[in-house]
Amino acid sequence: MRVNQKRHISSRKTVLLLLAIATFCVIFFMTFNLKGNISYILTHRVWIALTMILVAFSAATSTLLFQTVTNNRILTPSIMGFESLFVLIQTVVIFFIDAQGIPYIGIVGKFIFESLLLILFSLFLYRGLFTKLKQNLHLVLLIGIILGTLFRSFSNLLQRLMTPTEFAVLQSRIFATFTRAEPVLIVFSLVIATAIGLFLWRMRFRFDVLALGRDNAINLGIDYQKSVTIILLLVSVLVSISTALVGPFTFLGLLIANLAYSISGSSQHRFLLPTAFLLGVIFLVGGQMFLEHVLNMVGALSIVIEFIGGSLFIFLILKKVPM
Amino acid sequence: MIKIDNVSKKYQTIPVLKNVNATISQGGVTAIIGPNGAGKSTLLSIISRLLLADEGQVKIQNMDVVNTPSDKLATYLSVLRQENRFTSRLTVFELVGFGRYPYSKGRLNQDDLAHIHRALEFLNLTEYKDRFLDELSGGQRQRAYVAMVLCQDTDYVLLDEPLNNLDMKHAVAMMKQLRRAADELGKTIVIVIHDINFASVYSDYILAMKDGQLVYQGSPKKIMNSAILEEIFDTPVKIENIHNQNIAIYY
Amino acid sequence: MSKTVYFIAGIVVLFAMAALSLFIGAGHVTLADLWSDSNMRQIFFVSRVPRTVALLLAGSAMSVAGLIMQLLTQNRFVEPSLVGTTQSASLGLLVMMVLAPGASVMMKMVVASLFAMAGTMLFMFISRKIIFKSALMVPLIGIMLGAVISAICTFFAMYFDLLQSLGGWESGDFSGILQGRYELLWLVGAITLLACWSADRFTVVGLGRDFSVNVGLNYNQVMLTGLVVIALIGGIVVVVVGVLPFLGLIVPNIVSLLFGDNVRKTIPWICLFGSGLVLLCDIIGRVIRYPFEIPVSVILGVVGAVIFLVLLSKKRHAS
């Protein structure tokens, strides 16, 4: 019992330490080089910081949940094509509603509509893949990646088919950037994310059981099918939030989830979830500041994370995954 | 009492269980034997609701396993499958602690802790409780899994080949522990087992399966008969009585 | 015999499409006025003919490069643009743009091919280690290697403000092909012919090292030759037209399903299908949003991904 307690204390300490670093990063980000129209700059930075925190939260929780329910540490929603699917849905919506129609339903209305579509399609597309997972992980992964490519190519095609003015609406979506999200959407996402966060916190012990795999989870009295559905639903909403706010961010989830596994020292979700979330905040805010102020490259963060995450993926698939 | 009523199951088009009817009475150790592909594990999975039957019904204490809420069932029946591989690194204590999930949903109370310690004690795992599972030998790990299902404290405990990966010493120890769980704790133990001599020595009742059907059932004395075993396994078997135990010689 | 008939029929269809390609596009060209209207003749010979030739050459070359890569890795699900070869070529181009912007096209092409070669060797090195573990792991690693190299490219392109140029190489597009800008592709055509000529050796290498050594083939030498061929084709095609995604994967797979794996027999089919597919996608790209053009890589991305998924599901049923 004592050793167990000790480990819990150290996992808790890790969370607190990360919380301190993350807070420091955010405060530093807000106050660094503050001159000129201070209230304007501060407001601007608050929105950016909130966006980054939301993206970190979405990436961390959606990836952890996805990996827990698939019992696998390589699969992530983005690698399986969720983000690309959302971008495709956005493109199709613009394609059919056209840019002029969007003010009618509003940004939030459009977001809700697109998220619902993503939930619908992801349940339809991915639920079947879960049951095949056990038989062949690599096939499922490859199918997911190619599905992602297909969605991307298809949205690319649709974007090109639109007139040049409409094309401009989506053209900037190639790289994730933190500066374009609409305040309304940020506030709305914040509300949803908080609700999801509270819900997840209540379910944290259930996730520990799900991580034991399907058979053990059923043995311990969990309605597995329902849990898979709920998690896919939550993952879809979280992916929608992050993609709608900043665009695709393929490897962020993989990176912070795997880092969280290795530094948390615990496999309990009450530690893993906050650890991954805070790591995400530190990565995004810290990385953004580093790139912006040291290298003077504002939009490069998603590329750097793509580089690190892709390398990590190769490493994981070569070393870690049991066949 | 577990009542298996006309259960059938097909994988794609291949039938693996054909109209199985059986009753497993409360208490004691019941062994399911039979050659590879007889449908033993499938039957165990259906009893424990891990797999849905195509036809038929399984009832435990008069509860239909399909319709009864899963979390309620988890307090009556526990199951351990052959393969247990976790991506998360868990200690023995944490793993065994999961056995209490059906009761406390993750927040362990004093009562749960007592159960965990009793289960660890029962399987001689107390000294390893803070080791990670991947730091244990195969035999210790197998015992940890069994400790988890025992900790679940259900009347019915279903185990799929619990002797897998165990050497002679550990296999005997495991069977003795299961026997004790039945005798001292009053559990109903159902095991799928390959070694018929273990079934003969340690079980109270044997269900013998072949080609998806239940072909024989009865006491070990009745089943440990060379004509019956030869029919089930398609290989010559001699029965010898050694120290008042029926031992099959088939080498 | 009947296969020969089919092949001739295929050639006829290909020529019909090529003819169609000559007369489709934003500028108006008709056969009747071609000799009288000098303006039209200009469009025809400066733009249309080079474009059509480039389509035929690049299409067959990338398909053959894909085939060779599949034989060298003994894996059906790889091709140059999927495993980092073309991404490495882009990186090479980028390096030239930064270090020696004034270098000749020939020089750029050599450097791009060298980078393509290094990238492919890195992929082969990694995939060698896992060849027996899982057939699907090889393309997975290739895709990720491609993503990593591509991230490096994008990072530096952003740093040196060359994103626009990079975007050009990353999407295969024949609309910029003019007389004087495509002639390097004839070199690719020659290399492809050379590869066809040594087809048997690649067939043997495709059966594995032990088999090759057993029949007395210099395994390492053929491997190296194959790598050079892939790198040159990949490098030059990237320089001239950009990436043609999935082409090298789907064409050899479809041909293999139809005609088996005797490379000497199937390689003409692969050239035919490859040219035909690129030609078809390019024609679609020219008419679908007339008078605007959609790059061939965009169409190939959709078509190729769908066919790849079908091939994967076939594999699932087989296993």
Residue B31 has φ and ψ, to the nearest 5°, of -110, 135
Give yes or no: residues B53 and B116 share one domain: no
Mean pLDDT of C134-143: 83
Check which CATH number belongs to the domain holding A101 and give it: 1.10.3470.10
Res C145: pLDDT: 92
The predicted pLDDT at position C317 comes to: 54
Q: What is the pLDDT of residues B183-200, one digit of tens each?
A: 988 999 999 998 899 999
Chosen domain end from B102, B136, B153: B153
CB contact under 8 A, A142 and C77: yes
Domain end, chosen from B106, B128, B153, is at B153
State the DSSP string of C38-98: HHHHHHIIIIIHHHHHHHHHHHHHHHHHHHHHHHHHT-TT--GGGTTHHHHHHHHHHHHHH
Cα C99 from chain centroid? Answer: 27
Please give the average per-residue pLDDT across C150-169, as a whole number.
82
Q: Pick from B136, B153, B170: which residue ends a domain?
A: B153
Per-window interface: C 65-104 vs A, CB < 8 A:
77
> Does B80 reach chain A within 8 Å, measured CB to CB?
yes
Chain B residues within 8 A of A223 when measuring between CB atoms: 69-71
The alpha-carbon gap from C299 to the nearest alpha carbon of chain A, in Å, equals 7
Between A54 and A247, residue with greater pLDDT:
A54
pLDDT at residue A166, rounded to an integer: 45
User: Which among C136, C289, C308 has CB closest to A139?
Assistant: C136
Decide if pLDDT at C148 tops 60: yes
Chain C partners (3+ C-beta pairs within 8 A): A
pLDDT mean over A108-118 = 85
What residues contact A61, with CB distance under 8 A and at least 6 apart?
Answer: A196, A197, A200, A234, A238, A273, A276, A277
Mean pLDDT for A194-208 is: 91
* Mean per-residue pLDDT of chain B: 89
Q: Is C151 an 8 Å CB contact of chain A? A: yes
Tell me which residue has tokens 């009053």.
B186
Rg (CA), chain C: 20
Radius of gyration of chain A (CA): 20
Is residue B230 domain-resident?
yes
| Mean pLDDT value of segment C59-66 | 94
The predicted structure's pLDDT at residue C100? 87
CATH number of the domain encompassing residue B33: 3.40.50.300
pLDDT interval class at C292 (50, 70, 90):
confident
- What is the domain extent for residue B121? 77-153
The reported pLDDT for the residue numbered A238 is: 92
Query: Distances from the Cα of B81 to the Cαs of B113, B163, C135, C209, in angstroms?
Result: 24, 12, 29, 42
In terms of Cβ atoms closer than 10 Å to its own Cβ (0-12, 13-18, 19+), residue C159 is: middle
From chain A, pick out residues whose CB is under 8 angstroms from the CB of C307. Answer: none
pLDDT for res B120? 92
Say yes or no for a CB contact (<8 Å) between A1 and B72.
no
Ranking A31-35, A105-109, C278-282, C299-303 by mean pLDDT, the lowest is A105-109
pLDDT recorded at residue A6: 65
Contacts of A3 in chain B (CB under 8 A): 130
CB pairs under 8 A between A and B: 84
Q: Predicted confidence band at C170 (pLDDT cuts at 50, 70, 90)? A: confident
C26 falls in which pLDDT band (50, 70, 90)? Answer: low
Give A36's pLDDT tier (boundaries 50, 70, 90): confident
Is the model more confident about B13 or about C26?
B13
Q: What is the pLDDT of residue B87?
A: 66
Selected for mutation to probe chain A from C145, C148, C152 (highest A CB count within 10 Å) is C148
Give the nearest partner residue to C148 out of A143, A175, A311, using CB atoms.
A311
Q: What is the mean pLDDT of residues B220-235?
A: 90
Domain that holds residue A316: 2-320
Given a cut of 80, whether residue B225 has pLDDT beyond it is yes
- Residue B208 belongs to some domain of the structure: yes
Region B97-113: mean pLDDT is: 86
Task: Round to whole Å and give the CA distance between B209 and B4.
Answer: 14
Which pLDDT band, with edges at 50, 70 and 90, does A152 fall under?
Answer: confident
Among residues 133-192 of chain A, which lie with CB inside 8 Å of chain B? none
- Phi and psi (nearest 5°) for C224? -65, -45
Question: Is B193 found in the same domain as B149?
Answer: no
**Residue C33 pLDDT exceeds 80:** no
- Asked if A touches B (at least 3 Cβ pairs < 8 angstroms), the answer reads yes
Is B113 contained in some domain?
A: yes
Comparing CA positions, the residue from C82, C144, C85 lying closest to residue C113 is: C85
Question: Mean pLDDT for chain C?
Answer: 85
Q: Report the pLDDT averaged over residues B37-59.
A: 90
pLDDT of C67: 92
Residue B170 lies in a domain: no
Does B111 share its domain with B149?
A: yes
If asked whether residues B109 and B136 sit together in one domain, one would say: yes
A313 to chain C: which residues are within 8 Å by CB?
A: 144
C134 contacts in A (CB within 8 Å)? 138, 323
Give percent of chain B with pLDDT exceeding 90: 39
Which tokens in the block code for residue B143? 């015992």
Q: Chains A, C in contact: 3+ Cβ pairs under 8 A? A: yes
Interval C87-99: pLDDT, tens: 999 999 899 989 9
pLDDT on residue A169: 43
CB B86 to CB A211 under 8 A? yes
Cross-chain residue pair C305–A153, CB shorter than 8 Å: yes
Please indicate whether, in this complex, the C-beta atoms of A145 and C77 are within 8 angstroms of each other.
no
**A253 band by pLDDT with thresholds 50, 70 and 90:** very high
Q: Check CB contact of B106 with chain A, cutoff 8 Å.
A: yes
A114 inside 8 A of chain B by CB? no
3-state secondary structure A37-65: CHHHHHHHHHHHHHHHHHHHHHHHHHHHH
Q: For position A134, what pLDDT does the model report?
A: 60
Instruction: Please give the average per-residue pLDDT across B124-151, as a whole number.
Output: 87
pLDDT band at A266 (very low <50, low <70, confident <90, very high): confident
Same domain, B62 and B81: no
In the predicted model, is pLDDT for residue A142 greater than 70? Answer: yes
User: Which residue would you say has higher pLDDT here, A113 or A197?
Assistant: A197
Q: Does pLDDT of B228 surpass 70?
A: yes
Residues of A with CB under 8 A from a CB of C: 132, 136, 138-139, 141-143, 145-147, 149-150, 152-154, 156-157, 160-161, 175, 250, 295, 297, 299-300, 303-304, 306-307, 310-311, 313-314, 317-318, 323
Based on the structure, what is the number of domains in chain B? 2
Q: Kindly state whether A316 is in contact with chain B, defined as any CB-CB distance less than 8 angstroms.
A: no
Out of A146, A161, A300, whose CB is closest to C155? A300
Which among A146, A149, A317 has the least Cβ separation from residue C137?
A: A317
Name the residue with higher pLDDT: C220 or A104.
Answer: C220
Structural domains counted in chain A:
1
- Give, as one character, the DSSP assignment of residue B10: E
Q: Is B10 in the same domain as B52?
A: yes
Task: List C-alpha distances in Å: B34 to B41, B213, B217, B218, C224.
Answer: 10, 10, 11, 14, 56
| Sole residue written with tokens 């993609």 | A243
Mean pLDDT computed over A105-120: 83
Residues 6+ apart with CB under 8 A from C235: C89, C92, C109, C110, C112, C113, C114, C115, C116, C117
Per residue in A276-312, pLDDT tens? 999 999 999 998 888 888 877 777 788 888 899 889 8
Looking at beta carbons, which residues of chain A come within 8 Å of C295?
A: 160
Virtual torsion, Cα C92, C95, C101, C105, nearest 10 deg = -10
Q: Which residue has the higher pLDDT, A217 or B165?
A: A217
Domains and CATH numbers, chain C: 3-317 (1.10.3470.10)
Which among B50, B105, B113 has the least Cβ separation from residue A215?
B50
Return the half-sphere exposure (C-beta side, CA atoms, 13 A cut-off) of residue C87: 23
